[in-house]
Chain A
Amino acid sequence: MMEDHSVNNLPAINLKRRSRPKESLIKGFLFFCGFFSIFITLAIVYELAKEALLFFQDPDVTLWGFLTGLTWQPKLGEFGVIPLVTATLLTTAIAMMVAIPLGLAVAIYLSEYASERVRGTIKPVMEVLAGIPTVVYGFFALTFITPVLRSIFGSDVVQIYNTASAGLAMGILILPLIASMTEDALSAVPRSLREAGYSLGATKLEVAVKIVVPAAISGISAAIILGISRAIGETMIVAIAAGAGPNLTLNPFEAAETMTGYMVRISGGDLSYDSIDYNSIFAIGLLLFIVTFILNLISQRIVLHFREVYE
């Protein structure tokens, strides 16, 4: 029997899968990091729900009364969240009245009209506006926008703290968010659609408004929904400029406390744990969390859908 021994004489190389304990350890840690985000969400839901439950167990509080009551007077045992919600919706509405038209116009200009150079100037300005801390916007609202409003409409009409100035400042804050998301959506519209429009003799405006915007409408609505969610959760501007004390009003020149403003005021003071005040900020926080979470989910779903169409 003649065999080629040269192969067998080589040192054996084991090509079998080796167990690598260090590798699995690292992988385990990485998985833990990834999973940690789920843990954060669960912690948020658990803590909010736990404290909110304590709030609803108070004999003065009922869920129905909380959601539909028209007065929020913890000292008198009245816990109706409607005034806080109304103020939140009022500031949000004012903010969106500023941010949606301006944001859309900026996005259309940047994506359809602007030269590379103009875009290079405007985009950093938008980024700076988006990066300014909200407490600075609050300062601006209280010390600039409010005096301007008071000199236009009269200081007997416009109170020192009012939802209008907070809403306007919030609109400026949200403008870059809507503008940049909308611009992304517009730029994702294929060039062929525009060319087709031009070949039919459409003007630039007609192509932009009648072809590009409708094609990008899902991305634009996602941007708007995200903007609304951001406005509802915005805190410092309303805490500084919109005033303290719940007030059921639709007059934008009156002071009215929003949900977030209430949470800041109560927790900023000396509050004792296990008091009804302490528990109430968790109940309001839970409401805020649910609303913004749903809005964010909707916005994300729309973005995913619109990605599938164009990629």
Chain B
Amino acid sequence: MNQNGKVEFNFSENLPTRHRTGGIWRSIFLAATLTGIVFLSILLLKIVNDSFGYIVVEYGIHPDALAVDGVPIWELPKEDLVLILQANVTPGRFRTLVKELPMEQRSLEDILAIINREVVEPKVAQTWTLFESIFQKQEIETYAAENYPEGELYFKAWINWDFITSPQSSDPLYAGIRTAILGSLWLMGVAILFALPMGLGAAIYLEEFASKNWLNGLIRTNINNLAGVPSIIYGILGLAVFVRALEPITSGAVSGNGVSSATLNGRTILSGGLTLGLLILPIIIINAQEALRAVPSSLREASYGVGATKWQTVWSHVLPSAIPGIMTGSILAFSRAFGETAPLVVIGASTYIVYDPTSVFSKFTALPIQIYQWTSRPQDEFRNLAAAAIIVLLLLLLTMNAVAIFVRNRYSRRV
């Protein structure tokens, strides 16, 4: 007690310590937050790092050795190429090739491809990453000269136009993702046709029509729960229902559209697309419900006020103003489906598909499946292919998300 009779507390005694603790924890929180950015940067760097770099290729016969009078083989006329082919494969093999299709009927590119495959036989001996290629160029060159004196060392961008437009191949030098991209797009088409109307219908029912009773409560709870079911469960549901139980329909046997009767089974684009559709249905419903809920009720009251029925109100007033929100949510759901791998592996997407899918009854592969397949191979060159395919996948997803954000910003003003 001091002379004024007031009690004096010493607040400042532990204040510095408390402030220091506060400062320390603040830095810890900030550091944790930055780890997210760090992870993302490392992930992207790692993928880019694997998509470019030096490779050493070894040849069965070096293409230069096949040149006639100094003219490289890819500039030679067809007749010379046939002679080269005949001279360099066994007579039996040549006869087989002729039996498949006479040389006169084959195109120039075809014969070049055969020569490349059977005579030149390029093989990837070793690959390096982008950083190694930039910072240890000297060492790589010395190493390659010592260990692969016959091989050719050059810088390869694994992601290039040929990679995107070539069909699949077991040879990493010529493998592409064309069939995988087309397969993914077909899957998306089926999933959209199925899940968008169903999801929108369910959302409209729940938000505009459903009264508060136990059944609608059950539906709501159930949708939220379905959104959390692991995707692999949808995969085995698709396997049991679409691939097996509905095989006559999903294989195209009933409608007579099966692509080839010999290999008819339910592992088609239709099965895969419907499975992905089921997977994203709850997400679409939840997003669409939120968009509908954001429409002010005054709009509905005004419509009822002039005598519109419930459905007229929903169709002409609620839906138009909710469309941007619904579209944004749906695009995000589809970008989720685009990267989904597990359900497709489970329903048995084929991994080696050389031909473009032609209908919903085609066998298919998809971009994420292709990435999974290449990642699981132990050889380095397939890892490079996986990295290049990941770049394509991420760019496609980025585009979808950008469209969603654009739609949100462009139309949200009117709501």
**Which chain A residues have a beta carbon within 8 Å of chain B's beta carbons?**
20, 22-23, 26-27, 29-38, 40-41, 43-44, 47-48, 50-51, 101-102, 105-106, 108-110, 113-114, 122, 125-126, 128-129, 131-136, 138-140, 142-144, 172, 175-176, 179, 201, 203-206, 209, 226, 229-230, 232-236, 239-240, 260, 263-264, 267-268, 273, 281-282, 285, 288-289, 292-293, 296-297, 299-300
Contact = CB atoms under 8 A, between A and B. Distances in A.
Given A138-B372, A267-B348, A297-B225, 10 more contacts: A34-B205, A38-B218, A44-B234, A108-B29, A133-B340, A135-B375, A136-B339, A233-B229, A240-B372, A267-B345
A131 B335 contact: yes
By secondary structure, the B interface counts as helix
Contacts of B237: 40, 43-44, 47-48
Interface string B45-60: 0110010000000000
29 contacts: A23-B309, A30-B205, A37-B202, A41-B226, A43-B237, A47-B236, A50-B240, A105-B29, A106-B36, A122-B33, A131-B339, A132-B43, A132-B397, A133-B338, A133-B393, A134-B342, A136-B390, A142-B375, A143-B375, A144-B46, A172-B39, A204-B26, A206-B22, A229-B228, A267-B236, A267-B348, A273-B244, A293-B228, A297-B225
A122 to B, nearest CB: 6
Contact of B368 (A29, A30, A133, A267): A133
Given A113-B26, A131-B401, A105 B33 contact: yes
Given A44-B237, A139-B386, A203-B19, A233 B46 contact: no
B346 interface: yes
A136 B391 CA distance: 10
B178 interface: no
Contacts of B223: 37
A292 B228 contact: yes
A132 B394 contact: yes
Contacts of A128: 40
Nearest to B43: A140
A36 B198 CA distance: 8
B32 A109 contact: yes
Interface in B364-395: 368, 371-372, 375-376, 383, 386-387, 390, 393-394
A27 to B, nearest CB: 6
A263 B231 CA distance: 12
Contacts of B11: 201
B409 to A, nearest CB: 14
A129 B36 contact: yes
A37 B397 contact: no
A135 B372 contact: yes
A175 B36 contact: yes
A33 B33 CA distance: 41
Given A23-B310, A34-B219, A300-B225, A136 B281 contact: no
Contacts of A138: 372, 375
Contacts of B199: 33
Contacts of A235: 230-232, 341-342
A164 B21 CA distance: 32
B221 interface: yes
B219 A38 contact: yes
B232 A133 contact: no
B40 A41 contact: no
Counting chain B CB atoms within 10 Å of each CB, which of A109, A126, A293 scores highest?
A109
Contact of A205 (B21, B202, B225): B21
B345 A31 contact: no
B76 interface: no
Given A135-B368, A281-B236, A264 B375 contact: no
Contacts of A234: 230
B30 A282 contact: no
Contacts of A36: 198, 202, 281
Given A132-B43, A240-B376, A263 B29 contact: no
